[in-house]
Structure 1
Amino acid sequence: MSETTTGRTDTSEAGLSVTAALAAISARLTEAAALAKAALVCARAGSEREAVRIVLDLDVPLSEARTLHGAICLIGRINRKAAETFAPGD
């Protein structure tokens, strides 16, 4: 996001950032789903110890997805605040 000479916020860069972040969230959640399914298969096969080991690997992709989600929310709040600040008629 950058401020233009008119004082308005240019959101074209933010749009790309949001799109990239959403794609990254999707990738992390796909990875987490695959890990969860693998853990379930292990547990159903009687290898609960291996299932727990696999589930522990969920930490990273879930944490990264949560962080990316927070970043997108922050961009949204910044855009709303900028729209309020630079609303026409001010």
Structure 2
Amino acid sequence: MKIIEKYQLQSADIDRIIEMAWEDRTPFDAITAQFGLSEKEVIELMKFEMHPNNWKKWRARVQGRSTKHLAKREEEVLRFKSKQQRIISGNRMSKR
């Protein structure tokens, strides 16, 4: 797939992107900051990597969700950190 080749994504990176995309409070901007993929590219990657029924469920869940877009978030919603963030090895975001 072009996105995987373009960003030289390893299977661990793809798994993490999918996990972040499924998390309700992790915005697409966090995926962009960590991996460089735009929202459109994340959607394309999800469609390629997921079973069609699961992809439809994910798209229905994500569309219009304000927590997935920083610009649409309420002011009191701050940065979200997954409980698994500290145990993920090679996570570039946690090393800042």
TM-score above 0.5, yes or no: no
Q: Larger Cα Rg: Structure 1 or Structure 2?
A: 1
The structure whose RCO (Cα within 8 Å, separation 6+) is larger is 1
In terms of fraction of residues, the more strand-rich structure is 1
Alignment TM-score, normalising by the size of structure 1: 0.29
TM-score (norm: length of structure 2):
0.27
- Higher share in helix: 1
